[in-house]
Amino acid sequence: TIDHAFLQSLPKVELHLHIEGTLEPELMFELAQRNNVALPFDSVDQLRAAYQFNDLQSFLDLYYQGASVLLTEQDFYDLTWAYLERCQQDNVQHVEIFFDPQTHTDRGIAFATVINGIKRALHDAQQQWQISYGIILCFLRHLSEEQALATLAQAEPFKQHIIGIGLDSSEVGHPPQKFARAFAAAKQQGYRLVAHAGEEGPAEYIWEALQQLSVERIDHGVRCVDDEELVALLVNEQIPLTVCPTSNVRLKVFEQMSEHNLKQLLERGLKVTINSDDPAYFGGYMMENYRQVEAALGLSTAQWLQLSRNAIEASFASPERKAELL
């Protein structure tokens, strides 16, 4: 049987983590006070009690509202630092974090304020704990492709700090093909590419992300099982899926963890990784995801080692860094 010490000891890599989704209620209230921002909740407990979601959109509404307390570079530093402390505790040794610049620039926060705060925390954690990192800029898919292209232009001066481009927010009704030109432009500029697909949206969106956006990894992707031909392609090409177990249960992609298809995906030879997505909202950082998966699905030692290795291999870390992590 798998014990806690074994799961703790595994070298972990997080590839699907929205930094805005690590904003704990306590820090949200602290920043609201510091910045004189009004919150429509009276207390931390009342806010936490509101984290009962029916689907992706009901979560996103609170997630965007929560981000309104982030104003200064120090706010983004404090947010990112708190997340990195959790990484250190959970033996997460490499992180590739998503940020949503449009959530902030649309409220008048400078792109530089956001990325400089995030980047400085990541730099400090690398110095202090040897946690390596990449930063991935996500386009909000409920906004237009023109707005995505404008965001890509804003990112240009910070290009050396951004490893890749992703696509997040409301999936259904916003197919990957809507961003075909923005992703082509990003590829032209040398960015690595990923996209959320097949979380709530259909397997067809996974095909589109691969064929029309040329992404290298699929974020979520759990609905691939609806399409045998797609599963065969994902297995043959070993295209990584950044699966987020606690997120999927909290957003009702699966009714409970025992119904999650992660073990089935692994057994079918898909390159699955485990990630925490928005841990402050879904109630679990990396180790909590490991624990809940083990409790509900009972993986073998070999499967746990495979999951750890998959994440290292699926990362955008340098070959030298991957060799250190393996």
Residues annotated as catalytic are 199
100 is in an annotated binding site: no
Nearer to ligand HPA, 215 or 325 (CB): 215
CB of 57 within 8 A of CB of 76?
Answer: no
* Closest CA relative to residue 325, chosen from 127, 125, 92: 92
Q: CA 124 to CA 85: how far, in whole Å? A: 11
Task: Find out whether 16 is annotated in a ligand binding site.
Answer: yes
Q: Is 123 annotated as a binding residue?
A: no
- How far apart CA 290 and CA 276 sit, in angstroms, is 10
Q: Nearest distance from residue 102's CB to ligand HPA, in Å?
A: 12
Burial class (CB in 10 A: 0-12, 13-18, 19+), 167: buried
Residues in contact with ligand HPA, counted by CB under 6 A, come to a total of: 11
Asked if 171 interacts with Zn ion (CB under 5 A), we say no
Binding mask 188-217 for Zn ion (x = CB under 5 A): ------------------------------
The site partner of 315 among Zn ion, ligand HPA, none (C-beta below 5 to 8 Å per kind) is none
Subset of residues 128 to 147 that bind ligand HPA, contact rule: CB under 6 A:
none
Residues 266-285 that bind ligand HPA (CB under 6 A): 277-278
Closest separation between CB of residue 219 and ligand HPA, Å? 8
> SS3 for 130?
coil
Smallest distance from ligand HPA to CB 281, Å: 8
Beta bridge partners of 277: 17
Number of residues this chain uses to bind Zn ion (CB under 5 A): 1
Asked if 136 and 165 touch (Cβ cutoff 8 Å), the reply is yes
Residue 14 near Zn ion by CB under 5 A:
no
Site mask for ligand HPA (CB under 6 A), range 40-79, x = bound? ----------------x------x----------------
Q: Which two tokens stand for residue 195?
A: 């996209």
Within the chain, residue ranges assigned H as helices are 4-9, 25-35, 44-49, 56-66, 73-89, 101-105, 111-129, 145-155, 180-188, 203-211, 228-236, 245-250, 262-267, 279-282, 286-297, 301-314, 319-325
Among residues 176, 168, 163, 85, which one has the least CA distance to residue 131? 85
Residue number, nearest CB to Zn ion: 277
Nearest approach, Cβ of 219 to Zn ion (angstroms)? 6
Nearer to ligand HPA, 139 or 191 (CB): 139
Q: Does 277 bind Zn ion (CB under 5 A)?
A: yes
* Residue span binding Zn ion (CB under 5 A) among the ranges 81-89, 134-142, 251-259, 275-283: 275-283
> What string marks each residue from 162 to 201 as x (binds ligand HPA by CB under 6 A) or -?
------xx--------------------------x--x--
In contact, 159 and 9? CB cutoff 8 Å: no
278 belongs to an annotated ligand binding site: yes
Residue number with CB closer to Zn ion (138 or 287)? 138
CB 21 within 8 A of CB 40: no
Backbone φ, ψ for residue 234 (5° rounding):
-60, -35
Q: Which two tokens stand for residue 71?
A: 């104003």
Binding site for substrate, residues?
278
Question: Residues interacting with ligand HPA, by CB under 6 A?
Answer: 18, 21, 56, 63, 168-169, 196, 199, 247, 277-278
